[in-house]
Amino acid sequence: MNINQNYSNLQDSYLFRTIAQRVSARKAENPGAGIIRLGIGDVTRPLAPAVVDAMGKAVREMGDAATFRGYDDGGVGYDFLRDAIAGYYKSKGVDIGADEIIVSDGAKSDVGNILDIFRPGATVAVPDPVYPVYVDANVMAGNKIVYIDGNEENGFLPSPDLPDGVDIVYICSPNNPTGAAYSREQLRRWTDQALSSGAVILFDAAYESFITDPALPRSIFEIEGARRCAVEICSFSKLAGFTGVRCGYTVVPRELRAGEGKSLLELWKRRQTTKFNGVSYITQRGAEAALSPEGLAQCRENIAYYGENARIIGAALEKLGIRYFGGVNAPYIWLRCPDGVGSWEYFDYLLNEKDIVSTPGAGFGKNGEGFLRLTAFGTRENTEEAAARLG
């Protein structure tokens, strides 16, 4: 039996699996350790009451033959949720048609799956440091990867200085792992570059709800011309705490075309309806409720909670004189390891000496070496305790 040989080109282990193994080893040798997890971007706050109520009602509907629902409307999302998402964009000053929105089980899935609609062997530009899924998904697809450098000099916000022949560009803003967010002018330069070169931008906006600065764009579609060169991928995981519920969506403008004038919206819709039967009715009702006025207010209370956690961690680092990025307009704190220590060395130190789980920057690419990512998604009690241990 032949296999996809591209899988042989993957790193031996996914970053977060390696971290989990080291944490398990620490727990095995010290069962009483009070380990605080500030590594993976998993939320800890409960679902908003409006979401719980909506999902409970949906469960009861599913228990009645008169209101039972099976597959959704063609596997692209129920109209009620797509309309709610379009309304959410409207509140940000962006006009998106409900028919341009395809609902999925999360941004992580879409980030990799959308490569199916592009030609094999495409040249793809990804930032470094980078969310590992961008790289691994393209390795699996057999694509050529070009890295664009993010570093301290450019604030971990690479500029659109790309070689010729790039077909696809990944941009994440606010960024995972660095917490850096692009300005409107910076995104305009990326959009102009994509329009002139014919590249397609895959814009990961999973953390847009953490932006508090009104001067920063929360959607690439706030930028003129982006509808002709960009796809936006978003998630309810961070907006509404759906990491354990799973729901996301991708926006593909009608006018976005490639190749022989093919509509990327129709290609993506065809891909999804062929390989995916849609998100559950119960989940979609919960997502709809998260976008209601009541639901958004409740969700934003949780986001503010995590924002305060980020402030607490940042204040501890400032007191120690440790330089960091992010922590504002993003749930991630990207810190320089003190005294020139390597990423994995400092990870092991924090784990084995302070019982704090972090994420080594080297796991996000060569430019991540010497840095570490902390998340603000812990409980307040654990975040304050972690800040005290750091001190």
Give how many domains the chain has, as a whole number.
Answer: 2
Report if residue 317 sits inside a domain. yes
The phi, psi pair for 228, rounded to 5°, reads -95, 0
- Domain match, 283 and 298 both: no
Report if residue 302 sits inside a domain. yes
Q: What is the DSSP letter of 228?
A: G
Q: Residue 14 — pLDDT band, cuts 50, 70, 90? A: confident
Domain ends where: 230, 258, 292? 292
Q: Residue 380: which domain range?
A: 9-47+294-390
Q: What is the pLDDT of residues 320-355, one digit of tens each?
A: 999 999 999 999 999 999 999 999 999 999 999 999
Lowest pLDDT segment from 25-29, 54-58, 350-354: 25-29
Q: How far apart are CA 257 and CA 265, in angstroms?
A: 8
Q: How far apart are CA 338 and CA 320, in angstroms?
A: 10
Q: What is the pLDDT of residues 234-257, one digit of tens each?
A: 999 999 999 999 999 999 999 999
Report if residue 1 sits inside a domain. no
**CA atoms 212, 303, 291, 111: torsion sign:** positive
- Domain match, 131 and 225 both: yes
Domain ends where: 267, 292, 317? 292
Q: What is the DSSP letter of 365?
A: -
Report if residue 4 sits inside a domain. no
**Res. 286: pLDDT tops 80:** yes
Q: What is the pLDDT of residues 167-193, one digit of tens each?
A: 999 999 999 999 999 999 999 999 999
**CA atoms 11, 16, 19, 21: torsion sign:** negative
Report, in angstroms and rounded to the nearest whole number, the Rg of the chain calculated over CA atoms. Answer: 21
Q: What is the pLDDT of residues 130-149, one digit of tens each?
A: 999 999 999 999 999 999 99
- Domain match, 220 and 249 both: yes
* CATH number of the domain residue 331 falls in: 3.90.1150.10
Distance between the two ends of the chain, CA-based, in angstroms? 55
- Domain match, 245 and 303 both: no
Q: How far apart are CA 114 and CA 267, in angstroms?
A: 10
Helix (H) or strand (E) holding 124: strand 123-128
Report if residue 3 sits inside a domain. no
Contacts 24+ apart (CB under 8 A), 16-23: 16/40, 16/359, 18/363, 19/347, 19/357, 19/359, 19/360, 19/363, 22/347, 22/348, 22/351, 23/351, 23/357
Look up the pTM and report it: 0.96
Q: What's the confidence (pLDDT) of residue 266?
A: 97
Domain ends where: 292, 307, 325? 292
pLDDT average, residue stretch 20-39: 91
